[in-house]
Each structure stands twice: as C-alpha cells, then as structure tokens.
Amino acid sequence: MCVYVKEHTDDPFRVLAPNQTQLLSSLSSLSAPGRELPPICSDVRQKQRISIDTLPPEVKAPFPSDPVIPLRTKTTKEFQEDVERAVQSGDWREVREFYLTTFDSFIEINAAFKREANGVFNTIDDSGVNAKFVNAVYDALLSTPQDIQKSVLKGIINSLLREWKGPRTKDDLRAYLILVQNPQYSSTSTYVIYAHLLRQIAALSEADHHFLVHWLKKLSARRFRQLVERLLQFISTRLFPAEPDELPPLAKCSWWIPSATKVLSLFNAANSVSSPPIMPFTDFYNITLEHIDFMEEYRTWQNYGHSNRFSFCQFPFILSTVVKKAIIQKDSEQQMISQARQSLVSKVSRRQRVDMNLLFLNIKVRRAQLLSDSLDELTRKRCDLKKKLRVTFVGEAGLDMGGLTKEWFLLLVRQIFHTDYGMFTYMKDSRCHWFSSWKCDNYSEFQLVGTLMGLAVYNSIALDIHFPLYCYRKLLTPPTVSCDQNALVGMATATLEDLQQIMPELAHGLGELLSYEGNVEEDFYLTFQVFQEEVGLVKSYNLKPGGDKILVTKQNRKEYVQLYVDFLLNKSIYKQFAAFYHGFHSVCASDALMLLRPEEVEMLVCGSPELDMSALQKAAQYEGYSKADTTVRCFWDVVLAFPAELQKKLLHFATGSDRVPVGGMADLNFKISKIDVPTDWLPISHTCFNQICLPPYRTRKELKHKLTIAISNAEGFGLE
C-alpha cells in the first residue's frame, strides 16, 4: 500500500511509505517548502483584529458535494461498554479496531462522529457532530494501551496526507473540528503531527474559518479551554523547548508558530462572538511572550507591507497587557528622545546656548490656580508634549524625580472631576463619570483632560478616573488619528448594553419598551423627539428629521431605541468627546494603540484599584532593616489590618498614586528604609522612588499612631 500526498508546491506527487517512522519523517520534511499562510488582511495595521463574524450568516459560494459516508451505528453507550469490558478482560481487540478504523480518513471520522452519516449540515448553527461521542472517545483514548494510541496517530497522519483538490467540503471541516480536540497533542512527541494539522486549518479559506469559528463556540466551556491552553502551550514550547533536541530545529519549522497562532485566533474569534464570552479575554494571553524581543515584533509588524514576516503583533489578543504597556513605553521613550534631539540640534545649529530644560516638558503651576495654570502650560508647550514630564509647584522646594508629577496628576484629576466643576456628571447608579452635554464656545478643558490621560499613559502614571468601558471604546474609534481633519472620531457603535454601563435605569426602561406587548403608540405616547436639561434649561432634539411628529410604534420602536442611545452616547456629546479624543491622541499618537482592547486602555490609564498588600509585602525591599526586624514586622501587621481606605492612603503616601500599575505590586519596587531619628518623628516618604522611611518604632501601637497621622496628611511639601 502507498499513501499519496500532494504538497502545496510546484513539485509533483510524492510516494510515502506506510511505515509510521518514515511517515513522520516525511511529514516533517513537508515544512520547508510549505504553502504560505494567507495574510490576515490587505492592511494589517488597520484591520488586524480578525473580524470573522462579519461574513453573512450563510456563505452562498458553491461548495463541493460531500462524498457518500459509510454507515457506522456505534453509540456513546455502546462504546463506553466496550471500553469497560476491555479494561476488565484485558481484551482490547474491539476497541482497537474501532480506533484503527475511525481515524484512518476524513470519511471514516465523519462516519463515526456525524450524527447522521449522510445528513446535510451546511449551516454555521450546527456542525452535525455528535459532541458527546467525541468527548467519550477522546476521554478514553489516553487510558488505552500504547499500540492503540499509536494507531490513532498513524491514522491521523494518513488522514492529513491524503490527496485533495479544490475547496474543502463541510465533512472536511467537521474532521478538522474533531481532530483538533485530540488530547494526544499535549505531548511534545506528537507536535510534528499537531503542527501539520494546525497548518492545514490555518490555510483554509476565510469562508471555512467562518464556519469553524461558529462551530467552535458550541464546544463545552471545559473542552474549549483545554484546546486554547494546548495551543498556548504548543507556542510556548516551540519558542522555549525544555530540551534542545526535543523538537525539530526552529529554522526548519518556522511556520509552526504562525499556524498555531492563526488557529488560536479562530478560538479568540469564537470567544468574542459568544455572549457571554466562554472565557475571559485575558486567558488568551501567552505570558511566555513577555520574554521575547517584543520590540522586534513591533517593528516587524510596522513594516509588514515590506517584509510580510509574521509578527505576534498581528494577533494582539495573545500579548499580555504587560507586553503592550512595555511596547508603548519603549515607543514613547523613542519619541521622547527624538523630540529632545530635535530641540538640541535646532539650538546648536543656530549657535544658541543649550539649556538642559529643552529635554523636558516643564510644567510650572501654583496650587491655588492649578487648573488654569496647567491648561495654560500645556497649551503653550504643545510641541513639547512628547518630552519627559517634569512638574514644579511654585513656592515649594520639591525637586521632581517622579513624585511631584504623580501628585500633579492626582490633584488635577480630583479638581476636574469634582461635581461642582460641571465638565463631567457622576452617575450614582453606575458609579462612573460621563461627559456633560452642555454646549459652550470653548472645549479646551475637555482637550486638557484627554491630554492628561495621554500624558499619564506616556509617562506610566496611573490615574484615579472612573469612565465606563464604552468611553475607551470611543477613544479607539479610530485607534489612530485620520489625516482628514473633517473625519468623525469617537463615533463607536452604541448599544443598549453600552447605555446599561452608564445609565442603567434608562437602559432598563428602553428595554421594557422593546419587550412591551401592549399598544406602544397609545400607552407610551412617545415621538422621535427627546429632551435634555442643560444648565437649568430643558432643550428638545429630534432623533430624525420631523421626529417631533413621528409617533413611536411597535414597528419602529427598535429604530427609536437605537437612535436615542446613539444620541445620548455619541451625538449629544460629540464636540466634548472630539476635543477629549484629540487631546489624548496628541500625546499617544502611536501605532501601538492599535494593539489594545478598550479594557486594556482602561488598565493603562487607571491601573487597578484592587490592592493586594500581601503581594506588596512579598515584593518589598529593605534598606537598613531586614524583614525580621521588629519595626518591619509591626509595620506589616498594621498595614495588613488597615481598612481599604487607609491602605489606599498608604499607597498614595509612598508612591504618589493609590492605583496599582499593570504589572502588579511587584512593579512598584516598594522599599522600606531605616532613618536614625527619634521615634516621636513621623514616617517620611520619597514618592519619586516609591520609598517609605521609618524611625525604629518599638511597638505596634506607636507605629500605627504615627503612620496613620502621616498618611492622612500627606499632600504637598508644606512650603507655601
């Protein structure tokens, strides 16, 4: 017997011997001249989030007819009984025959696992696979004798190497769906076979991927997670194998990682189109990638049109927020250096005296006029926004090594978001801020808030800001500023679920309108006109031309809700948000923003409010003290027993911010130092260095009293 295989090259057919070792060797040799994976899209930077679900529900392109499938009648119960008898008797012949036959070809796979052998299952809603039977067969596989497990792998090799021409049939897609669930791929000894399976799936057409995505989302949550974790482990092991000779040389199988990542993107798409998601998006992060040269990945991605080389940045869902933050920081540093260099070169070329202040964005403000001074400074120094930020408070002796910058951000944010100031409305039900809809002639203060957020990300400062997630989605619409000055910004598609984040009571009322079964026209008596209170006056707005004369009915109520939600979240605050958007992007004008989800932008801007003082204790460093000293032990006893509010004050006292950075408490490099002063002194902090200095307090009571006073009165340098 010979198995024929057509490689995806110009070479003619090759004959492969049926011996398993030779098959594996030959299979591995296919890697070098392999078929290139299809590009993600024509412009990877504008469309790098794969939008598989944008295809129509039914793809109407003609498909080849499915072959006639032999009838197999074994049920899940019968199979489980066969396995149970084999375990008890030691006679595995019947089970062996089942596995040997089932995985020998795509036709046999369908014969075993398709609910109806020759049934037509050509929709995205139903794969036609008997999932219960698939689970039973795979759950039993790893407990069978080794020869059975090897026969399954041999059958899969035969299945993958069989000749095929033209587009894939739905039975082929079903076979891929079943094969990718094989638990044997958890072992590195099967990675060559697994890689070729992934390669074939990755190289399928976009229409085929569309079907697979919707079939994958029907898997059980447990199975779905197992497959995602297996793919992540495959990528990690290929990058960093435990043994040098464990896998083929990377140069000979460079397509392994692109193939696996592309298949993983199908799972990510399936997760995204599921409501609710099957697993958190953070579970798709591959932490191993924090140890690669991610800036090289970023540069490769930016130059994609020239090299067409694979980059993990094409698939940003796999990169953790830590990696994305590092990319943005490095990109920011390069822009800062470039700005400073240009300023220096300009001075030198004109033979002017070089002032080292040219290297910084110097902000000089009075505490009493904090907002107006900050607005003036940022407006005057707009060209310096991408330089390193340095803040000076007039009349104070503090030298900004980072701490004054943090305090400036904190005080400014408090003032801007105060309810008396009126720029933002605090929504009590949702505990978040939203843009006030009042109209004015100058929206520069909204631009200031956007600039502040951009500077915070640019300078790695976490802000205590409470915007809904939808705000960050608007901020990424689009993720980069268009060259067209008239292009709309921030007009993200708004849904009732988005309104629920901000105005839950109103969203509930609109939901009731949509589900109302009575006479909508007579009972609600609504028109396509809405009213808003602005600075004490009630103003009316038509949601569509002539809206005040159009009654809301059962037939048009969905349109009414869509227009109303869009009005509230987009149109009524367009000028405010546009100023805010341009302020943010005037600082964070980076391609790296395209890698981020709205949730990740929120993390970069705000950090995390969740404090883990035990993690801070584990990461703490000591100078003059050791962790066994009485003062240190008393300190941690007190801090761990503090209520959350005092813990936040302590963090602000020591670091200048009460938020936790993206990398967690360990990223703070928190240090406790000893100062040889009398114990009636209060603790001292150096927020520039995230350092707290403690006198040698001898009792827990004394330390708690002094520390509480210090952290409750920590604002300013006291030299007014």
List helix spans (H) across 273-320.
294-302, 304-307
Cα–Cα distances (Å) from 679 to 637, 646, 682, 691, 693, in that order, read 18, 22, 8, 18, 12
Q: How would you write 337-384 as a 3-class SS string? A: HHHHHHHHHHHHHCCCCCCHHHHEEEEEECHHHHHHHHHHHHHHCHHH
The count of other CB atoms within 10 Å of the CB of residue 553 is: 15
Q: How would you write 198-253 as a 3-class SS string? A: HHHHHCCCHHHHHHHHHHHCCCCHHHHHHHHHHHHHHHHHHHCCCCCCCCCCHHHC
| Cα atoms in the Cβ-side hemisphere of radius 13 Å centred on 368 | 4
DSSP 52-74: GGGS-SS--S--PPPPP------
Pairing of strands 432-435, 424-427: antiparallel
Residue with tokens 């696996």: 260
What is the Cα–Cα distance from 434 to 504, expressed in whole angstroms? 13
Task: Give the rounded distance of the alpha carbon of 496 from its chain centre.
Answer: 23
Q: Is 688 a catalytic residue?
A: yes
What is the Cα–Cα distance from 128 to 96, expressed in whole angstroms? 25
The region, left, alpha or beta by phi > 0 then psi within -120 to 50, assigned to residue 118 is alpha
What is the Cα–Cα distance from 152 to 246, expressed in whole angstroms? 22
Considering 253, 588, 606, 688, which one is annotated as catalytic?
Answer: 688
3-state SS, residue 387: coil
Cα–Cα distances (Å) from 184 to 142, 188, 520, in that order, read 7, 9, 58
Phi, psi of 45 (to 5 degrees): -80, -25
Buried b / exposed e along 138-155 (16+ C-beta atoms within 10 A): bebbeebeeebbebbbbb
Q: Which are the catalytic amino acids?
A: 688
